[in-house]
Amino acid sequence: MVSKIYELIFVMALAFATIEMGRASDPDILTDFIVPEGSPPVDGNFFTFTGMRQLVGAPPPEKFKVLKATLAEFPALNGQSVSMAVLEFPGGSVNPPHTHPRASELLFLLDGGLQVGIVDTTNKLYTQTLQEGDMFIFPKGLVHFQFNIDASKPAMAVSAFGSASAGTVSIPNTVFNTSISDGILAKSFKTDISTIQKLKAGLAH
Ligand code: GLV
Ligand code: MN
């Protein structure tokens, strides 16, 4: 299972890197790669990310979990216009609506089933039910979500992003977990302050 994941991660990374060579969204760099100041002499380790090893033999998580390999975790991605994440969905769990301001996302479903959706800039919703082996593209900047409909079976997917630092803007967190005032939110959602406070309290745990 794990070697299958590694193989698929490799194929997806290659495919995405090829696309991005023609249409990089991160700034082009003038060197082959960028080494952070103060790094030890570059060898194969610099180009290697071992952070996904923790998935090997690990029990499935209890809540939806994302394990990322982006610029923050893997400095060699700087300037390479690519990053990845492994998404683990316990039965019935959801990855709430969010956007990636700097990249599109190509999701490859390895295990289980997922309902996915995107909302375009005309507010039109597109949904799909994915089966194991399917891919789905989430265009750059659009709100999207994934939901494991099957309460009894986990799902696992790998996502590739066309930026080393795609960024994630969670809609529930951005709206209800910052210091935008209850009054502004109540007016914006045409509701009362206690409803807003209930939503905020729900997100707090
Ligand atoms: C999934 O959509 C993710 O961005 O992690
Ligand atoms: Mn996403």
Between CA 20 and CA 79 the distance in angstroms is 11
Residue nearest to atom 2 of ligand 1 (CA): 145
Question: Separation of 132 CA from ligand 2 center, angstroms?
Answer: 18
105-146 confidence digits (pLDDT tens): 999 999 999 999 999 999 999 999 999 999 999 999 999 999
pLDDT at 16 over 80: no
Q: Give yes or no for residue 184 CB within 6 A of ligand 1.
A: no
CATH superfamily of 44-167: Jelly Rolls (2.60.120.10)
Q: Is the pLDDT of residue 89 over 90?
A: yes
Instruction: Look up residue 161 and give its two tokens.
Output: 């992003």
105 within ligand 1 shell (Cβ under 6 A): yes
Q: Quick check: CB of 70 below 6 Å from ligand 1?
A: no
pLDDT of residue 204: 81
Task: Provide the total of helices (H) and of strands (E) in the chain, helices listed first.
Answer: 4, 10
Contact 72, 47 (CB under 8 A): no
> Chain-wide mean pLDDT for the chain?
92
Please tell me the predicted confidence (pLDDT) of residue 1: 55
105, 118, 147, 161: which to mutate for ligand 1, most atoms within 8 A of CB? 105
**3-state helix/strand/coil string of 67-133:** EEECCCCCHHHCCCCCEEEEEEECCCCEEEEEECCCCCEEEEEEECCEEEEEECCCCCEEEEEECCC
Cα distance between residue 41 and residue 88, in whole Å: 35
Tell me the mean pLDDT in the region 76-99. Answer: 98
pLDDT, greater one: 66 or 5: 66
Task: State mean pLDDT over 163-182.
Answer: 96
pLDDT at 21: 47
pLDDT value of residue 116: 98
- pLDDT of residue 197 exceeding 60, the answer is yes
Ligand 1 centroid to 182 CA: how many Å?
A: 28
Span 118-127, pLDDT tens digits: 999 999 999 9
Q: Is 95 in the pocket of ligand 1 (CB under 6 A)?
A: yes
Q: How far is the CA of 28 from the centre of ligand 2 (A)?
A: 24
Give the environment of ion ligand 2: residues with CB less than 5 A.
105
Q: Residue 56 in 3-state DSSP?
A: coil
CA 8 from chain centre, in angstroms, equals 17
Mean pLDDT value across residues 141-153: 97
- Residue of 98, 158, 171 best suited for mutating to test ligand 1, as the one with most atoms within 8 Å of CB: 98
